Amino acid sequence: MSNTQQPLLTSFQLGDLQLKNRVVMSSLTRARATNPELAPTSLMATYYAQRASAGLIISESTWISPKAIGFINIPGIYTQTQVAGWKLVTNAVHKNGGKIFLQLVHSGAASHPEHLDGEIPRGPSPINLQLQVYTEDGPQDAVTPLAFTKAEIRETIADFKTAAENAKSAGFDGIELHAQIFTLIPQFLSSAANQRTDEYGGSIENRARLLFEILDALKQVWKSERIGVKFTPAAFNPGILKPDEQTIATYQYIFNRLNDYHLAYVHLVGPAVDLYGTTIAALQENYFGQFRKIYKGTLLSNLGFSRETGNRIIADGTADLVSFGCPYIANPDLVYRFAHDFPLAEADTNTFYGGYERGYIDYPAIIPVQ
């Protein structure tokens, strides 16, 4: 396929934003905010600027408040120092002609007292997620959380709103809500982790209430066409957060309701495993197509895509945009490599999370980026 005919390299109108191509850099935690303030650094600005030829960059997941923390050296967006650090990033990306959304996250019960000044993490219910949480002392077993009170739920929604305001001050082009894998929103969506008897638990509608209340709060700050949300209906996490008999109906409900939200996009992560024999076997055939039928807005597809499969899913109309995670670690010039069908470099997994320049800003572009 010639350069200009590639669907991935055609421009796309994302709400009021014109994207120069449909190659999206997926959110990648790299744990380089190695300072007590958890503020982005000039090293991070260099890293993102190197990748500005993507049609859109989605930042690494970023804590909305100190209570959201569940890992080490991940940046936040709740102090003015952090906002100043993010300005370095957004300025550098914009200077290189790129666009960047900030990904907002809360760990919920997937945290540890070491991250929370000794406080017990809050989750939907006092149920241990049975996974490990990475701390300064290495991986530790998750503790049994305390259930969020309603006042704490209100406070958390307000924290998301403040974080969204801070993202605006920091110069981002939009925000993406992290509603994937084992974090706060999937914990509420899960009938295993959420056994609340109030309006946040029980029925699908109740378990999805927090998601929509957070989106409603974000919409008070950003136009909906600048807000994306990322889901992993098929994520088999360690511990109790796994797809079950209600998963398909839960996401059908969510995708249907999101039609009224007119978001920038829904970012849908595909299955990493064969779904036959699982509770969501019905999603195995035409996974993205099934959600595409329900959701009428812009669909951003993710997981394991290559130049070839990315072009195909856009050409056949199943997705509008494709995001790339791992390929962006070692290929800052991924768009250029796709354009010329050059081979991709392999990333060193030892430097995925944490460290400094090595394995972060030293992957060469075929034609060096400024």
Ligand X SMILES: Cc1cc2nc3c(=O)[nH]c(=O)nc-3n(C[C@H](O)[C@H](O)[C@H](O)COP(=O)(O)O)c2cc1C
DSSP string for 173-187: SEEEEEE-TTSHHHH
Residue choice 97, 126, 139, 304 for contact with ligand X (CB under 6 A): 304
Using DSSP's 3-state secondary structure scheme, residue 38 falls into: coil
Name which of 147 and 189 has its Cβ closer to ligand X: 189
Taking CB under 6 A as the criterion, the residue among 106, 122, 230, 307 binding ligand X is 230
Q: State phi, psi for 16 to the nearest 5 degrees.
A: -95, 10
Q: Is 183 in the site for ligand X (CB under 6 A)?
A: no
The phi and psi torsions of 45 (rounded to 5 degrees) equal -60, -40
Phi/psi class of residue 286: alpha, beta or left (left: φ > 0; alpha: ψ in -120 to 50)?
A: left
Compute the 3-state secondary structure of the chain and give helix, strand, coil in percent, each to the nearest 5: 35, 15, 50
81 in Cβ contact with 37 (< 8 Å): yes
Q: H-helix or E-strand containing 84?
A: helix 80-95
**Core vs surface per residue 70-106: b (16+ CB within 10 A) or e:** bbbbbbbbbeeebbebbbbbbebbbeeebbbbbbbbb
Nearer to ligand X, 86 or 201 (CB): 86
Give the residue with the Cβ less far from ligand X, 271 or 325. Answer: 325
**Torsion-angle region of 134 (φ positive above 0: left; ψ -120 to 50: alpha; else: beta):** beta
Whichever of 126 and 304 has its CB closer to ligand X, that residue is: 304
Out of 21, 26, 156, 331, point to the residue binding ligand X (CB under 6 A). Answer: 26
Give DSSP secondary structure letters for 345-358.
PPP-GGGSSS-SST
The stretch near ligand X (CB under 6 A) out of 86-94, 154-162, 242-250, 321-329 is 321-329
User: Considering only residues 6, 14, 51, 60, which one is a binding residue for ligand X as defined by CB under 6 A?
Assistant: 60
Does residue 325 interact with ligand X by CB under 6 A? yes
Of 25-33, 76-84, 120-128, 313-321, which part binds ligand X (CB under 6 A)?
25-33
Q: Which is nearer to ligand X, 22 or 230 (CB)?
A: 230
Instruction: Give min distance, CB of 353 to ligand X, in A.
Output: 6
Q: How far is the CB of 79 from ligand X (least distance, A)?
A: 20
> In this complex, which beta carbon is closest to ligand X, that of residue 27 or of residue 318?
27
187 binds ligand X (CB under 6 A): no
Instruction: For 261-283, give the DSSP string.
Output: T--SEEEEE--SS--TTSTTGGG
User: What's the closest the beta carbon of residue 270 comes to ligand X, in angstroms?
Assistant: 8
Restricted to residues 235-264, the positions that interact with ligand X (CB under 6 A) are none
The minimum distance between CB 126 and ligand X, in angstroms, equals 27
In whole angstroms, give the CA distance from residue 230 to residue 266.
6
- Asked if 29 touches ligand X (CB under 6 A), the answer is yes
* 324 touches ligand X (CB under 6 A): yes
Q: Which residues neighbour 78 within 8 Å (Cβ) at sequence distance 6 or greater? A: 63, 64, 65, 66, 159, 162, 163, 166
- Considering the complex, what minimum distance in angstroms separates the CB of residue 83 from ligand X? 19
Q: Does 178 engage in binding with ligand X (CB under 6 A)?
A: yes
Is the separation of the CB atoms in 183 and 105 below 8 Å?
yes
Give me the residue whose beta carbon is nearest to ligand X. Answer: 325
Residue 125 in contact with ligand X, rule: CB under 6 A? no
- Binding footprint of ligand X on the chain (CB under 6 A): 26-29, 60-61, 103, 178, 180, 230, 269, 302-305, 324-327, 352
